[in-house]
Amino acid sequence: MAPPNQLCLVLVIFLSVFSLSSLSTSAIIPKAIVSLSIPSSQLVENLCNGKAIQNRRFCLKALSTPEVIAVMDTTQLGTLIMKLGAANAKATLNVYNEIIKKPGSPQALKALNFCVEDYEYAILSFEMVSSKLVEDPQTENYDVAVIGPEIANCEKELINAKVQAPRLLAGN
């Protein structure tokens, strides 16, 4: 099994990105009020209390699903979080694709297409990490770490192109 610190870093990086999303968590996280079991409860508490987590309440809410309750170790938790990240990125990508269909300036279209590429990359990265987390957590840690700056570049492109889409800017 991988050292817990490496896996926790992967999880913290993802949750830091994921917690900034303005998209409703109900789109990807089933509505369920279920108390956490002892093993996963401690994993989630440790993760959500990490220094890098800016929104502890969101972290606890996002990780209080039946799927999370069933996990027994940080590897399983990391894999599940990466799958949630992919689902969230897909939901955001769908919003971008809908906005692209509406008329807009060439600069806005260029920025939106730039962001579509970033979200397609994020989806592939999250899916790849979730399937390979057990094999090589250090490499997968890097793969997740580069998603944040890519999405930040997307936000800059939207601002520079004066795209009026507060939901997208907040979701980045």
Q: Give the pLDDT of the chain (172 residues) as one tens digit per residue.
A: 444 444 444 555 565 544 444 444 444 444 444 444 445 677 788 878 888 787 888 888 878 887 877 777 777 888 888 888 888 889 889 999 999 998 889 999 999 999 999 999 989 988 888 777 777 766 666 777 778 888 889 989 999 999 887 777 665 5
User: CA end-to-end span of the chain, whole Å?
Assistant: 33
pTM, two decimals, is: 0.70
What residue type is assigned to position 19 of the chain?
A: S
What residue type is assigned to position 43 of the chain?
A: L
How far is Cα 87 from Cα 62, in angstroms, rounded to an integer? Answer: 13
The domains found in the chain, sorted by start residue, are: 4-171 (1.20.140)
Q: How many CB atoms lie within 10 A of CB 119?
A: 25
How far is Cα 159 from Cα 42, in angstroms, rounded to an integer? Answer: 40
- By the 8 A CB rule, do 126 and 21 touch? no
How far is Cα 67 from Cα 162, in angstroms, rounded to an integer? Answer: 40
